[in-house]
Structure 1
Amino acid sequence: MAVSNSLLLVAQAALYFTVMMTLLHRRKSIGLGVFMCALGVMHFLETYLASVFYVQLPHGIISPGSTVLFSGKLLMILLLYVKEDAATVRQPIHGLLFGNFLIVGLVMILRNHETVQVVAGREPDIAFVDEMGMLMVWGTILLYIDSLAIILLYERLGRWLGRHFALRVLICGALVLTFDQLGFYIALHLVSDAPLSVLYGGWVAKMLATVVYALFFMAYLALFPAGEQKAGPRRFRDLFDVLTYRERYEDLLKTSHLDFLTKVSHRSQFDTTAQDLILATTANGHCASLILIDIDHFKAVNDTYGHQAGDEVLATVARVLRDNQRSDDHIFRYGGEEFVIVSQRMGAEAAQSFSDRLRRAIEDVTRDAFLEPVTVSIGIAAAPLEGRDLATLFEIADRRLYAAKAGGRNRVVGPLSEPVPVPV
């Protein structure tokens, strides 16, 4: 019996997920209201099943209403937030809150009617209505808290787990559903004297449901990986104002300063941040290096193979720079075929070795990627040894870069390799 009940619960979860995800996936053509209505109409059934309908599983006694329907609803609310934004997801959250309070308010008035018996033996069970009303009020408050909590947790976990969607869903679902199980059990115990086994059995079932729904979500994302267009930002005056578009805004901040082709910071970032990076490092008693890199014979690449080939060369060189980047390195595309690296906590000797390693890596990678290897010439200036002012350091590095070009290209010139005169 326990095994057959487990299979039936999985079938219920699969049916619930398939229907709800189909409605969510088709929301652009059939409207989001269809998904929201389907999400909301089952709240009474969830509460009823959670209060009176229990089945035996291998680990204990559970309610399908709480395990399948409520857990699924909460995770669907989270997925709606991920797919849309806070402005959209607050609609079903607030709608469920106000709608269920409305039901309870209407029932409180209805129970005062003087009823007549139409069918023998059939009379309204006012005690059951009162019990359900209390559970629905408490369950609605919990759902509201749960919905906000799971979204806030998802946002917070994004700082550490990034786009690991399944792991974030698992952690959010486990924490929030644990809180929900405890909260609803307290009300259920007060109303119907439910035994402690209901608390434990329901908690285990909700943890398993979280895993099952997370797997369903990953299967859905694997089948439908394409991104979707989102509406533009709007203003709000509640908690959702903080949540709306936060991840997309943070993503924009991460990418807005990047050069589109090379995926490294562009010239304006160098102009606005490089001086502060050098000063912040030297002020703490550490060394810094400014490394200027220029691709050799780049004009000949464009002239011979075309600008598309030139773009591929730029992108490949930039990728090598990124692949060798330390946490204290800041890479900029200065212009054309020139790149600048501001390396904090790196002295002249380390910068010389690091630059030569970059030079060899670029030559090795491009030898395999293109018809002939691409080489670079590199000039280095060291701070505070040769100054702290960005303009001074850049001029020193630029002179050494030209010395590297004049010396035959494909080489590194720094403070330790060639004493190029520096401005006083």
Structure 2
Amino acid sequence: MSGIILLLTQSLLYFGVMAVLFRMRHAMGLGAFLCALGVMHFLETYLAAVFFIQLPFGLLSPGSTVLFSGKLAIILLFYIREDAETVRQPIYGLLIGNFLMVGLVATLRLYGPPVSLQGYNPDLALINQMGVLMVWGTTLLFIDAIALILVYERLRSLLPRSVVLRAGVSLAVILSFDQVAFFVGLHWVTGTPIDALYGGWIAKMGAALVYAVYIGIYLSLFERQKAETPPEPLGDVFHKLTYRHKYEELLGTTSRDALTGALTRERFEAMAGPMLAVAIAEGRPCSLLMVDADHFKSINDHHGHVAGDAVLRRIVETMRGQIRSKDAVFRYGGEEFIVLAPDMGEAAALAAAERIRWAVEAGLDDVGDPVPTVSIGIAVAPGEGTSIAALLRLADSRLYEAKRLGRNRVVARPADIST
């Protein structure tokens, strides 16, 4: 019983201090909170490797049960009250800082045996073991933190009303994975007995429950009025946690069509497949709109190529004004463009295409005769195709149908023709 009381006291002290720092983040800034979160990883790993206590259900380490589990709980609380783009900062900071620590120690070991001091002999074997465990533990922490947030988000639809239950289940799942994975490395490096695997797992399940309750108490006492951030598609959360969307934005800024500012065909070929695959895997629709400027040769012939170039730029600007921020516009050919719209079904795609068609005709009527218009063909995954090639073929055939019927039209299905 005294051991359990010790663990509960430790957990309350750890969570209490971190919760106070987190609560004061708007007054003090996040620096104090993030520093306190990061400084204890070496202690966590050291205690997890060498300091165990015996309880009736087995061996366990306070470093793993209390400190490491508490760190994951604090990261989850951080995400619940902030967002993926904010919480990724400590996740990556911990990853880089811990690897830097291991790297610095490794460079010192290149020197050879340190000078012996009277009354003190450094335990080089322990330093070597700790280096291995630090690398393994840091890698697991990074995986655990991202997986914890993704599991929590997945549980939103299953447990929509209870933050505490979502937090508890998420922590239990990830801590179970971590207990097995870290024990494999610990047993390989130090020969820790199998009793520590079972005892540690039972203790971590208790930690998941305790920390979930702590999270619930904190939220109800201190931040009840602040609503939880709206749910996002799981793929979007993962992209934010892994900086994938920043990578895509960077590629976008360096892969734009010089004339119109739309993304290039090369970017379409790079982005479209993965975007469609994520949508299909998550059971969400994805629409492809193929847009072509009508009678563009006549515009060039009547007004000149400079005016024609200006018309293309204005068409792209108009399209951007009628779609969502997460939709992408690509220049696919000379006067042909593609709008790729994840999370957009057929009805919404038809509405968006009609807005584009109307806005181009109304917004460019100052060009003169002929007034620039567009024809649009639409294809929607997964119902009408599960590959980009299939969607392109279908959208192109519908674009041709819109042209055949007189242009300035949208065709979503052969029977659905708008003017």
Query: What's the TM-score bracket when you normalise by the shorter of the two chains?
Result: 0.5 to 0.7
- Residue 282 of structure 2 corresponds to none
Does structure 2 retain, via aligned residues, the 8 Å contact 1:87–1:240? no
* Structure 2 counterpart of 1:164, from 162, 165, 173: 162
Does structure 2 retain, via aligned residues, the 8 Å contact 1:235–1:241? no
Does structure 2 retain, via aligned residues, the 8 Å contact 1:86–1:240? no
SS at match of 1:194: coil
* CA displacement 1:73-102 (0-9 Å, x = unmatched): 011111101111111111111011111111
Does structure 2 retain, via aligned residues, the 8 Å contact 1:17–1:72? yes
SS at match of 1:162: coil
2:10 pairs with 1:15: no
* CA displacement 1:386-411 (0-9 Å, x = unmatched): xxxxxxxxxxxxxxxxxxxxxxxxxx
Shift of 1:106: 0.7
Structure ID, larger Rg: 1
Q: Structure 1 residues 189, 160: CA separation in 2 closer, same or farther (over 3 Å shift)?
A: same
Shift of 1:22: 0.4
Shift of 1:218: 1.6
Give the partner amino acid of 1:227. Answer: K
Give the partner amino acid of 1:132. Answer: M
Shift of 1:222: 2.2
- Residue 38 of structure 2 corresponds to 40
Moved over 3 A (4+): 114-119, 233-244
Does structure 1 retain, via aligned residues, the 8 Å contact 2:65–2:200? yes
Residues 17-416 of structure 1 mapped to structure 2, 5 A cutoff: 17-114=15-112, 117=115, 119-224=117-222, 225-227=224-226, 238-240=240-242
Shift of 1:177: 0.3
SS at match of 2:158: helix
What's the TM-score once normalised by structure 1's chain length?
0.54
- Residue 405 of structure 1 corresponds to none
Count of aligned pairs:
243
Give the partner amino acid of 1:18. Answer: G
Shift of 1:5: 1.2
What's the TM-score once normalised by structure 2's chain length?
0.54
CA distance in 1, matches of 2:124, 2:25: 40
* CA displacement 1:109-157 (0-9 Å, x = unmatched): 1012256546313132221111000000000000000001000001111
Structure 1 runs not aligned, ≥5 long: 245-271, 277-424
* CA displacement 1:361-414 (0-9 Å, x = unmatched): xxxxxxxxxxxxxxxxxxxxxxxxxxxxxxxxxxxxxxxxxxxxxxxxxxxxxx
Structure 2 runs not aligned, ≥5 long: 247-346, 352-419
Computed over aligned residues only, the root mean square deviation of the Cα atoms, in angstroms, reads 2.7
Work out the percentage of aligned pairs sharing the same amino acid. Answer: 53
CA distance in 2, matches of 1:97, 1:116: 28
Does structure 1 retain, via aligned residues, the 8 Å contact 2:45–2:133? yes
SS at match of 1:61: strand
CA distance in 1, matches of 2:120, 2:33: 35
